Amino acid sequence: MGVRLIADSGFTKTDWRLVNEESKIEQARTAGINPYYQTEGEMLEVIKDLHAQLPQKVDEIFYYGTGCSSGTNRDKIAKLLAQYYPEATIDVNHDLLAAARSLCGDEPGIACIIGTGTNSCLYDGQKITHNVPSLGWAIADEGGGTYLGKTLVTDYYRKDMPEHLRKIFKEKFALTKDDFLVQIYQQPIPGRFLATFAKFIGEHIKDPYMYNLVATGFDTFITKNVLKYEGADKLPIHFTGSVAYYFGTILRAVAQEKGLYVKHISEHPIAGLTLFHQ
């Protein structure tokens, strides 16, 4: 079989698994890679970090990443990987296929990602047959970490957040409106910055305001994405991503209210992908 390197790369981080010829598994984690927002130099630094952690000779690389629905971006990632793993056969795919293979295996279903960003697809057990366009954090990504963070901070500055939570938020972040606007409009990868506020939401999720903020985000995601797939009320629906995982109870409740069956919710697809490629 040879030595295989498997990657699941999102906006925030990349999980890597190295499977040797004896099926022994090594792992590494690096920063995320997104060819829509990062230069080739920035992405190459991530791969350099990976190679420092896993310097072994590799025969095959199976890379799944956000932003890789574009053929141009897939070629770009493959060329960057080849600089550090020149002898490897490299296969680059979209992170949505990673979710489908990891969650559904060889069974039909609907696979969804709700992490920093969001996406979804209809999967027939072998391939993706339909995808409602994600459109990214600036336009959509309903229910994802960036979307929730954007909603939270907007409510804070416009005083739509309950006062007791506003006081806690102000003490924790000491973030002026100007500080916030600089982060969004003058610093790189603002979506990743917005997603960091999801942790604050989780710390106060028992508060009705926070619960409703998350539930509304999930309701919007399901309405604008999942319900557009034929057979959504009959097929198992799976989710992967940190936001889906940590707010899984809310996600299941929202789906149940709409008559949908949620089967698997995983934090990361990398474990299922590793099994798929072994």
Average pLDDT of span 236-265: 97
Report how far residue 36's alpha carbon sits from residue 94's, in angstroms, rounded to the nearest whole number.
Answer: 13
What burial class does residue 51 get, using C-beta atoms within 10 Å of its C-beta: 0-12 exposed, 13-18 middle, 19+ buried?
A: middle
Distant-in-sequence, close-in-space partners of 223: CB < 8 Å, separation ≥ 6: none
Contacts of 75 (CB under 8 A, 6+ apart): 92
Per the model's pLDDT, the better-predicted residue between 140 and 202 turns out to be: 202
User: Residue 1: is its pLDDT beyond 70?
Assistant: no
Average pLDDT, the chain: 94
* Each residue's pLDDT tens digit, 23-48: 899 999 999 999 988 999 999 999 99
Residue type, 88: A
Paired tokens of 208: 């009705």
pLDDT in tens, 48-75: 999 999 998 999 999 999 889 889 999 9
Listed residue (262, 269, 260) closest to 228, CA to CA: 260
pLDDT for res 140: 77
CA distance 78 to 39: 14
DSSP symbols for 86-147:
TTSEEEEEEHHHHHHHHHHTTS-EEEEEESSSEEEEEE-SSSEEE------TTT--TTSHHH
What was the pLDDT predicted at 22? 85
Query: 90 phi and psi, to 5 degrees?
Result: -115, 125
pLDDT at position 49, please?
96
